[in-house]
Amino acid sequence: MNLALAHTALLVIDMQRDFCAPGGYADQAGLDIERLRAPIEPIRQLLVAARRCGLLVVHTREGHRADLSDLPNTKRRRAEASGAPIGSPGPLGRLLVRGEPGNALIEELMPEPGEPVIDKPGYSAFAHTDLQLLLQNRGIGQLILTGVTTEVCVSSTLRQAVDLGYSCLTVADACGSAYPALHAAALSMIGVEGGLFGEVITSDTLISLLEMPA
């Protein structure tokens, strides 16, 4: 496996308080918070290795403008049907609204100065954001994907990245889902037809690659 470090970026997707923190929306809704928190330590270790070797690190947050003017009606209706209307009061402020406490990234994985944070209104980190421009301007051609949830925002970002021509590595233990079967299925789909959506790797293996002498 070849890692061209100058042309590789680590994406940390939606490790937000409402999704991953005790007392956040997911926790209050009865989702398996421990499974959503499982990627924290692997991601933390990856961040140490990535920063040490100079990889571009990009963080994302799913959320909407306070007036919800960037919220499509279809997404609004889906959220209402699930019992969690976007913009409604939650345990850590209004749900999926930028600037609210629950929308913030968790303390364990806070960005360092200079690391871009992409606020996205959809599931894919490329949809209606400047992520593609940012990556192009840095000459990035390979992405390492981590975060939550494996079957929704990680998968959506991965699929769009592949269509845009990026080579992708998805880090199995650095992704998480409240639903083990969906996590496993999302990972297994990556490797179909000889790696249709790239490769799946573990954090230990990836860290070893990052720490190999140049």
Q: Could you list the active site residues?
A: 14, 120, 153
Cα–Cα dist 143/160, whole Å: 12
Query: Could you tell me how far CA 201 lies from the centroid of its own chain?
Result: 16
Beta bridge partners of residue 58, listed in sequence order: 11
Q: Which tokens sit at 184?
A: 């496993």
Please report, for residues 4, 59, 214, the alpha-carbon distance to residue 12 in angstroms, rounded to integers and kept in the order given.
Answer: 19, 5, 25
Cα–Cα dist 104/66, whole Å: 14
Count of Cβ atoms closer than 10 Å to residue 130 Cβ = 13
Please report, for residues 103, 157, 197, the alpha-carbon distance to residue 192 in angstroms, rounded to integers and kept in the order given.
Answer: 34, 17, 8
* 97 backbone dihedrals φ, ψ, rounded to 5°: -115, 130
